[in-house]
Amino acid sequence: MKKRKITSSLYLFLAALFIFGATFLAIIISQGGSVSDDGVFTNSGVLRVNVAPENATYTLFVDDKQIDNLVNKGTNLEAGIHTIRIESPGMLNWEKKVNIRQGIVTDILAKLFPLDLKLEQITSSNISKAVFSPFGDYIYYIINDTEVPADIGIWRLQIGQNGLFFFNTPSVPIKFAEIDPEVSELLLDPGLILKPSPDHNRMLAISPLTQKIYLFNSLNGTEPLKKIDLLSEIGFFPKNVDWLNDSISLLIDDDKALYELDLTNQRTTLIKYDPQQSIIYSHNQSHLIWFDRIKRSLNIYKNQLNTKLELGSIDLSPYNVLGIDLPKNSSRYITIKTDINYLLIDIEDTKLYIFDLPVANYSLLEISPDSTTFLFKDNQQQLHTIVAKENLGLDQMEIKNYDLKIILSESDKIHFGPTGSNVFMFNNQDRTIISFEQDGANFTTLIQNEFINPTFDLDSQLRSLYILLQDGNNKIEDLESPLPLTTNLYRIGLEVGN
């Protein structure tokens, strides 16, 4: 009996030892280690590759040597600089030098573009102005000069896809709002600002020229009033009006005062008043953050209440805060502009980081949706990016500065794609739309056309590029009756067969 117990205990011990050893080896390998006849080596790291589009079939090369890439498991590589190349049928090659560090998992996202990019015409009217929803789900456009009276109005087209495949049927434009003579004057303002609501059922139209603001409700919505003159509600033309609390409220900035106007009950709440200076604030769909100059603190406004934002040991009193920026998809990070430099505050971990770009020489243009990349322009109009990513293996924030060697003119347009890994730019001089990565690598020309309009954006899945183009044939001299130039919406598929 005793012998049987000893044998059972031995089996249990050996099983536990095997499990421990297997777990140990798995940890070593996952952190870049490798096992040979001579023992365990850790002078390696892990490369993990993510390719868009997700269904792309590709071949991975490291330093011109083809290797197997285990999906979602990564590939062990010796620490150091390696040239990574990805080849996929029908796609442009993707290539970049990547620094693999010992014991660290390095993730790369490779956006592949088709070799053959084709234009597909979406509309056949004459668009005077278009705007994209903040998350690339819808395009709104105005038609007020056309031979078809029924086409006059504000239209909405869904370009983002639902999560469920069987709901992803081709979308068609629907009329969002009618244009009457009173509205027509406002829509002719060259400086007209259109702001769709986050729920896609309302639209703000702000005209600095006519000093008018209208709120449009969707023709297909449940609101009885389809057009509201907001000046009659607030009594003055403010410095800025924007959406707050998703689509329930409006944020009204009157320079020295900040208000919330609740559209469900028309109740106005004063958020902050400063008779001396403009209020320093920023907001996205879920948060509004403002800076208290007297207490030298950040405050969050939500549900008609102001609360001090707890930042642990972070002390803002030594800094002269001039501005705040929140990314549209995240509320974890806040960018602070001071009179000397730019700061990044991690609200979740209550940590502060200083960007090595002096405010006197650099201006912040845009923050990527995931709040990892910051696009700057220096005094010579040259672009720079700062990439700030949390390294979980080292438990620290890694901040890298890239000089893109790209000059941005006043007529150029630039913004991040939905993933933040790629920057897209309209170059007015070359009449092109180009794409490049956070560090300037994989520079790609997506379209070159002399009739291209600087209004462009991408859908939320980075599957298509939408642009405005002038069309017609009045540039052809031998036509007896040349057609007039009109502006329409076009699509460029960014996936093979798309």
Judged against a pLDDT cut of 60, whether residue 481 lies above it is answered with no
Residues 140 and 229 in one domain: yes
Inter-residue contact 277 to 293 (CB < 8 Å): yes
Residues 56 and 201 in one domain: no
Inter-residue contact 326 to 287 (CB < 8 Å): yes
Judged against a pLDDT cut of 90, whether residue 165 lies above it is answered with no
Residue 486 lies in a domain: yes
Residues 103 and 136 in one domain: no
Residues 175 and 232 in one domain: yes
Inter-residue contact 114 to 462 (CB < 8 Å): no
Residue 418 lies in a domain: yes
**Rounded average pLDDT over 19-29:** 49
The tokens describing 182, both together, are 């009173």
> What pLDDT does 36 receive?
47
> What pLDDT does 221 receive?
86
Judged against a pLDDT cut of 80, whether residue 412 lies above it is answered with yes
Residue 188 lies in a domain: yes
Residues 94 and 136 in one domain: no
CA atoms within 13 A on the CB side of 39: 3
The model's confidence at residue 42, banded by pLDDT at 50, 70 and 90, is low
> What pLDDT does 479 receive?
45
Residues 74 and 144 in one domain: no
Domain boundary among 77, 111, 145: 111
Residues 441 and 312 in one domain: yes
Judged against a pLDDT cut of 50, whether residue 168 lies above it is answered with no
> What pLDDT does 162 receive?
53
Query: What is the spatial distance between Cα 160 and Cα 176, in angstroms, rounded to a whole number?
Result: 17
Query: What is the spatial distance between Cα 466 and Cα 457, in angstroms, rounded to a whole number?
Result: 6
Residues 372 and 451 in one domain: yes
Which residue carries 């109009």 as its tokens? Answer: 381
The model's confidence at residue 478, banded by pLDDT at 50, 70 and 90, is very low
Residues 380 and 445 in one domain: yes
Residues 303 and 156 in one domain: yes
Peptide bond before 53: cis, by omega within 30 degrees of 0? yes
Residues 392 and 253 in one domain: yes
> What pLDDT does 32 receive?
45
Domain boundary among 88, 111, 134: 111
Residue 13 lies in a domain: no
Inter-residue contact 15 to 7 (CB < 8 Å): no
DSSP codes of every residue in 117-171: --EEE---S--SEEEE-TTSSEEEEEE-S-S-GGG-EEEEEE-S--SSGGG-PPP
Residue 75 lies in a domain: yes
Judged against a pLDDT cut of 90, whether residue 105 lies above it is answered with no
Query: What is the spatial distance between Cα 36 and Cα 476, in angstroms, rounded to a whole number?
Result: 71
Judged against a pLDDT cut of 70, whether residue 182 lies above it is answered with yes
Query: What is the spatial distance between Cα 343 and Cα 471, in angstroms, rounded to a whole number?
Result: 46
Residue 56 lies in a domain: yes
Residues 6 or more apart whose CB falls under 8 angstroms from that of 237 comprise 211, 212, 213, 231
> What pLDDT does 477 receive?
47
Query: What is the spatial distance between Cα 84 and Cα 61, in angstroms, rounded to a whole number?
Result: 6
CATH number at 71 reads 2.60.40
**Rounded average pLDDT over 159-171:** 56
Judged against a pLDDT cut of 90, whether residue 359 lies above it is answered with yes
Residue 445 lies in a domain: yes
CATH number at 167 reads 2.130.10
Q: How many domains does the chain have?
A: 2
Cα first-last separation, the chain: 72
> What percent of the chain clears pLDDT 90, i.e. is strictly above it?
60
Tallying the residues shown for the chain, one arrives at: 498
Judged against a pLDDT cut of 80, whether residue 283 lies above it is answered with yes
Residues 87 and 170 in one domain: no
- Partner residues linked to 436 by β-bridges: 423
Residue 116 lies in a domain: no
- Tens of pLDDT, residue by residue over 433-472, are 999 999 999 999 999 999 998 999 999 888 999 999 988 6
The model's confidence at residue 96, banded by pLDDT at 50, 70 and 90, is very high
**Rounded average pLDDT over 212-217:** 95
Residue 412 lies in domain: 126-317+363-493
